[in-house]
Amino acid sequence: MAKFYSRQELNFQLFENLDCLQLTQIPYFADHSEETFKLILDSADQIARKKLYPLLTEMDRKEPTLEAGKIKIHPEMKAIIRQFGEDGWINATFSYAEAGQQLPWTIHLAAGFILQAANYSASVFPFLTTGAANLIRTFGSRALVEKFTPKMYSGEWQGTMALTEPDAGSSLSDLSTSAQPTDEEGVYLIKGQKIYISCGDHDAVDNVIHLMLARISGAPAGTKGISLFVVPQKRADSGESNDVLTEGIYHKMGYKGAPIAHLMIGSNKGCKGYLVGEPNLGLKYMFQMMNEARLGVGMNAVAIATAAYQASLTYAKERPQGRKIDEKDLSKPQVPIIAHADVKRMLLFQKSITEGSMALILYCTKLSDEISHELDEVIKAKQEALLDLLTPIAKSYPSEMGLQSTSAAVQILGGAGYTTDFPVEQYYREARIHPIHEGTTGIHGMDLLGRKVLIHDGLGWKMLNQEILKSISKAKLTVGCEALALIVESYLANANATANILLQKSKEGPAIFLADATLFLELCGLLAMGWMWLNQARSARERMARVESDQNFYLGKMETANYFMEYELVKIKSLAERLKSSNYPTIAMKEDWF
């Protein structure tokens, strides 16, 4: 079977670079150990290899269909979803009291990465159910939890997040799905339309539980009047229709195996929704989960790009073509294309993007695991500020660069990469969704510069500086990492200078301040990657000094860190030059000049 990820790399990330075992010192995770963590990874590896990867191509070629109002998906998905349930996969991070395993999210997502790398479409189903169940258990009443979550955990029911409407995509304040109170407390009549609902309907489960945003009659306009509801496709008790009808299915460029539905809700006035938590706090609840979903999307992007990287690496080692650049003797056999500098550049590019992004996402999930159990409010506030700042970066950099990375994989395969004989073209199509869903890159740029850099008197940005400076100090004391530390230090200074100029600009109003928010997000992505590669280089050096095995692996890490600083981090210079400019073509350009 083709290699779609490297377990050695994943182990390095978790146990050497991140030191995830620190989490076991938190009482909630105390029963865990390196052994239990590795068992979870093994279990994910098994199902990924035996069930998911073999269906990768087939799920792409045989798309879900809508027949007589019901979406039909690949027939093998039913057993796979049930197995996720039976393995305890869906509620693994939840407490023992909820029949969970109290697994750190870090390990859950690292194991999820294996599933995603094997078959992104198939991995979407349990991921969404976990997110939806998590909203109910966190903000819902005990009655709602008991009514809905057990069959979600078992994989009998699907969970979804139902936000988008025809007239409200990025602009959530314009949501118009309505909720009319009924005589029954907490029960509302829901009416509206939702579009782009992932796994919004399919025949591998008995019911679909939508976590849906809607507006209670009389609620304030904008985001302050949005409430969260549990809206089942069928009534939980009777199994009768709850008037959530599948109006359409979207056909899309990639991850075709996961169905995306257009739903009509309450068009026959028969849709009951159950209020979660307080009225008008729906968006706040949803965002708490969406931050996790955003890191999840970052990991999806890493997973697809990793599978593409591994496919192109295998090809580059096997495919003979041409000779070394200083070889003139044509009677010599051709060399594998990995011998060519430009092919190595494209491999180093992919390695640097995928492994650097993985390090960043796992850094964030560990922070999240720590925050969930931190008792000291001051420490917690600082950690939260840092995580809030990093979330748009950890969602967007892997998503945007994941496209470039899978594109490099296609390029390495050349004409072969463009055909359906190899999986890289599928990865290229699948990767394209990530800069769009869970907030477009443009939205995250505004979130980063317009909110996360500013709030709490810039606490998040200060924390970022503090943590990067810690890494720089440690690296300066590590033989072989001094030069890398100085490079990151200089780019940190450049990033700070740029941020300060932008803050000055904020006095000229939001239009000028935020005109290039997307570019600032890109700059911060590069800075965060530089930081992560500095950490990885130090981890590799420390390990090399202690153990004699796997020297090639660690030498590869060191050289990839070097690559990143030389080829990628240097892009900060051009970005910073643009960001400091006071010439604004995107504001000056009039709509009718296009």
Q: Could you tell me the smallest distance in angstroms from the CB atom of residue 225 to a copy of itself?
A: 10
Tokens of 464: 């970022």
Contact between 97 and a copy of itself per CB under 8 A: no
**CA 512 – CA 449 distance, rounded (Å):** 12
The DSSP bridge pattern shows strands 207-216 and 178-181 to be parallel
Tokens of 250: 């979207």
Contact between 250 and a copy of itself per CB under 8 A: yes
Looking at 113-121, 208-216, 237-245, 513-521, which segment touches a copy of itself (CB under 8 A)?
513-521
**CA 493 – CA 520 distance, rounded (Å):** 14
Q: Could you tell me the smallest distance in angstroms from the CB atom of residue 399 to a copy of itself?
A: 11
Contact between 196 and a copy of itself per CB under 8 A: yes
Looking at 80-88, 130-138, 282-290, 572-580, which segment touches a copy of itself (CB under 8 A)?
572-580
Looking at 110-118, 152-160, 200-208, 418-426, which segment touches a copy of itself (CB under 8 A)?
418-426
Q: Could you tell me the smallest distance in angstroms from the CB atom of residue 237 to a copy of itself?
A: 34
Contact between 93 and a copy of itself per CB under 8 A: no
Contact between 221 and a copy of itself per CB under 8 A: yes
| Per annotation, catalytic residue among 400, 438, 489, 568 | 438
Residue 336 gets the label, from left (phi > 0), alpha (psi -120 to 50) or beta, of beta
Looking at 170-178, 295-303, 360-368, 468-476, which segment touches a copy of itself (CB under 8 A)?
170-178
Q: Could you tell me the smallest distance in angstroms from the CB atom of residue 367 to a copy of itself?
A: 28
Q: Is the dihedral of CA 95, 50, 358, 444 positive or negative?
A: negative
Determine contact, residues 462/470, Cβ cutoff 8 Å.
no
Which of 126, 392, 445, 525 is in the footprint of a copy of itself by CB under 8 A? 445
Contact between 36 and a copy of itself per CB under 8 A: no
Which of 325, 375, 378, 479 is in the footprint of a copy of itself by CB under 8 A? 325
Q: Could you tell me the smallest distance in angstroms from the CB atom of residue 72 to a copy of itself?
A: 18
Contact between 411 and a copy of itself per CB under 8 A: yes
> Would you say 421 or 482 has its CB closer to a copy of itself?
421
Residues recorded for the chain: 594
Which of 435, 460, 525, 530 is in the footprint of a copy of itself by CB under 8 A? 435
438 carries an active-site annotation = yes
Which residues, at least 6 apart from 546, have a Cβ–Cβ distance to it below 8 Å?
none
Contact between 7 and a copy of itself per CB under 8 A: no
Mark residues 333-352: x for contact with a copy of itself by CB under 8 A, - for none.
-x-x-xxxxxxxx-xx--x-
Beta bridge partners of 161: 211
Contact between 176 and a copy of itself per CB under 8 A: no
Q: Residues 258 to 317: which contact a copy of itself by CB under 8 A? A: 313, 317
Which of 1, 68, 97, 330 is in the footprint of a copy of itself by CB under 8 A? 330
Neighbour count for residue 473 (Cβ, 10 Å): 11
C-alpha angle 407/410/413, rounded to 5°? 150
DSSP 8-state symbol, 219: P
Tokens of 380: 């917690």
Beta bridge partners of 230: 211, 274
DSSP 8-state symbol, 334: P
Which 3 state secondary structure label does DSSP give 88? coil
Contact between 326 and a copy of itself per CB under 8 A: yes
Q: Is the dihedral of CA 251, 255, 256, 257 positive or negative?
A: negative
Looking at 42-50, 77-85, 290-298, 424-432, which segment touches a copy of itself (CB under 8 A)?
424-432
Which of 100, 150, 169, 270 is in the footprint of a copy of itself by CB under 8 A? 169
> Would you say 380 or 578 has its CB closer to a copy of itself?
578
Which of 1, 97, 375, 588 is in the footprint of a copy of itself by CB under 8 A? 588
Contact between 195 and a copy of itself per CB under 8 A: yes
> Would you say 436 or 469 has its CB closer to a copy of itself?
436
Contact between 480 and a copy of itself per CB under 8 A: no
Contact between 490 and a copy of itself per CB under 8 A: no
**CA 117 – CA 413 distance, rounded (Å):** 19
Which residues, at least 6 apart from 328, have a Cβ–Cβ distance to it below 8 Å?
none
Neighbour count for residue 245 (Cβ, 10 Å): 18
Contact between 497 and a copy of itself per CB under 8 A: no
Neighbour count for residue 173 (Cβ, 10 Å): 12
Determine contact, residues 207/157, Cβ cutoff 8 Å.
yes
Contact between 581 and a copy of itself per CB under 8 A: yes
Which 3 state secondary structure label does DSSP give 272? strand
Contact between 535 and a copy of itself per CB under 8 A: no
> Which value, to the nearest 10 degrees, does the dihedral of the CA atoms of residues 542, 346, 394, 530 take?
50
Which 3 state secondary structure label does DSSP give 193? strand
User: Catalytic residue positions?
Assistant: 438
